[in-house]
């Protein structure tokens, strides 16, 4: 498959992966909702039309933190979603504007422009009408990505092997590198019954350039499964967890329950607006990244909940020094806890 460089970058995705790990920021939905430019629940990326300057700054913030890829913010920017919102007329402008904003940052920073397609939320393998509908959504979004100069296309958050395979087939028609990531829910298999490792192997054998997992699971409930994927697959493997402290009993961020303040969140379910107490710290992200890298993962990122300081920690765990590393912590200079603190403050530090 051709490793195109449509944005003028000197190295395409496969070149970069062959040189070392690649980092890709995802999670724009949550980041823009926190900033007040996107509605939780509907999660439609109209920000690319209403506030393109804000969207551009988010791309730049994540690039500053270490992202090698500008993923166009078209997640949920599908015909089905826009139809439900009564805004189908905005579909093509939304997709093209997202690609152009991301492309501008890619050109400015020698990073890659990625088109993005996602789970259709209509796919039913027993219903030929929904299969056709999902395929048509993929085809138009990938077509727009190709026309706007994408260097690759990311197809993400698929629960069905069959739907992911259909997304891959659509991308391959345009001879673009394909990153295909699956979402693992409570059960350790896809909705059509494959283990995640087997599904990734099927996608790799069908021509995916990168396969792996994204979203739903936090670092510690994704790690064992990504080990299985790495053992099964021969090529490049991706791991993009959500940065939340999921656990064996509550393995996805949708499954998490707030057992401390259950009456302060609707139905005791923190997803998606009250996940703050479950956020991983930067040291946990570093630890996950090192462990995943040690087993051979080489395409990294964070999904919903990604924040620049966490992405920087991921990049630094891979031995990188993004621009934001100029401001990485140096506690030796702290007034109370630093090695150069005045004695009167050091002596009082334990009483703070």
Domain boundaries, the chain: 13-321
Asked if residue 71 lies in contact with residue 24, where contact means CB atoms within 8 angstroms, the answer is: yes
Report the pLDDT value the prediction gives residue 3, as an integer from 0 to 100: 42
Per DSSP, the three-state class of 217 is strand
Q: Which residues pair with 69 in a beta bridge?
A: 24, 112
Cα 283 from Cα 310, distance rounded (Å): 9
Nearest to 71 by CA among 288, 271, 303, 254: 303
Nearest to 92 by CA among 147, 25, 163, 26: 147
Distance from first CA to last CA of the chain, Å, rounded? 59
Q: 13-321 has which CATH code? A: 3.20.20.330
CA-to-CA distance for 165 and 130, rounded, in angstroms?
15
Strand-pair category, 210-214 with 178-182: parallel
- Beta-bridged to residue 116, according to DSSP, are 154
Pairing of strands 210-214, 299-302: unpaired
Q: How many CB atoms lie within 10 A of CB 97?
A: 23
- CB count, 10 Å around CB of 222? 27
Q: In this structure, what token pair is assigned to residue 317?
A: 């765990």
Helices (H) and strands (E) in the chain, counts: 13, 8
Integer CA distances (angstroms), 103 to 57, 60, 69, 149, 166, in order: 13, 11, 10, 8, 26
Query: What pLDDT does 155 receive?
Result: 98
Rounded CA gap, 162 and 170, in Å? 13
Closest CA to 305 of 272, 344, 282, 345: 272
- Please work out, in degrees rounded to the nearest 5, the angle formed at the alpha carbon of residue 8 by the alpha carbons of 24 and 2: 75
Full pLDDT tens readout for the chain, 352 residues: 344 445 556 689 999 999 999 999 999 999 999 999 999 988 899 999 999 999 999 999 999 999 999 999 999 999 999 998 899 999 999 999 999 999 999 999 999 999 999 999 999 999 999 999 999 999 999 999 999 999 999 999 999 999 999 999 999 999 999 999 999 999 999 999 999 999 999 999 999 999 999 999 999 999 999 999 999 999 999 999 999 999 999 999 999 999 888 778 887 899 999 999 999 999 999 999 999 999 999 999 999 999 999 999 999 999 999 999 999 998 898 998 988 889 898 889 899 9
């Amino acid at each position: 498959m051709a490793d195109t460089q449509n944005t003028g970058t000197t190295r395409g995705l496969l070149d970069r992966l062959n040189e070392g790990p690649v980092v890709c920021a995802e999670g724009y939905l949550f980041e823009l909702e926190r900033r007040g430019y996107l509605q939780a629940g509907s999660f439609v990326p109209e920000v690319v039309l209403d506030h393109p300057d804000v969207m551009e700054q988010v791309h730049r913030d994540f690039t500053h933190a270490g992202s090698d890829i500008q993923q166009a913010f078209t997640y949920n920017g599908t015909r089905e979603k826009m139809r439900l919102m009564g805004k189908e007329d905005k579909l093509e402008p939304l997709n093209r504007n997202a690609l152009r904003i991301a492309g501008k940052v890619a050109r400015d920073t020698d990073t890659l422009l990625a088109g993005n397609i996602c789970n259709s939320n209509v796919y039913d393998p027993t219903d030929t009408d929904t299969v056709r509908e999902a395929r048509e959504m993929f085809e138009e979004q990938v077509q727009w990505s190709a026309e706007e100069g994408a260097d690759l296309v990311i197809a993400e958050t698929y629960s069905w092997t069959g739907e992911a395979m259909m997304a891959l087939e659509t991308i391959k028609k345009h001879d673009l590198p394909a990153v295909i990531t699956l979402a693992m829910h409570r059960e350790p298999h896809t909705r059509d019954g494959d283990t995640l490792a087997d599904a990734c192997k099927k996608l790799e054998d069908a021509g995916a350039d990168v396969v792996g997992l994204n979203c739903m699971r936090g670092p510690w409930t994704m790690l064992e499964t990504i080990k299985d994927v790495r053992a099964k697959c021969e090529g490049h493997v991706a791991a993009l967890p959500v940065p939340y402290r999921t656990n064996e009993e509550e393995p996805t961020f949708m499954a998490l329950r707030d057992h401390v303040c259950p009456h302060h969140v609707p139905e005791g379910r923190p997803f998606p607006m009250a996940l703050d107490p479950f956020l991983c710290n930067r040291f946990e992200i570093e630890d996950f990244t090192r462990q995943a890298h040690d087993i051979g993962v080489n395409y990294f990122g964070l999904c919903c909940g990604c924040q620049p300081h966490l992405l920087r920690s991921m990049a630094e765990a891979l031995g990188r020094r993004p621009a934001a590393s100029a401001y990485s912590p140096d506690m030796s200079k702290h007034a109370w806890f630093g090695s150069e603190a005045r004695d009167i403050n050091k002596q009082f530090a334990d009483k703070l």
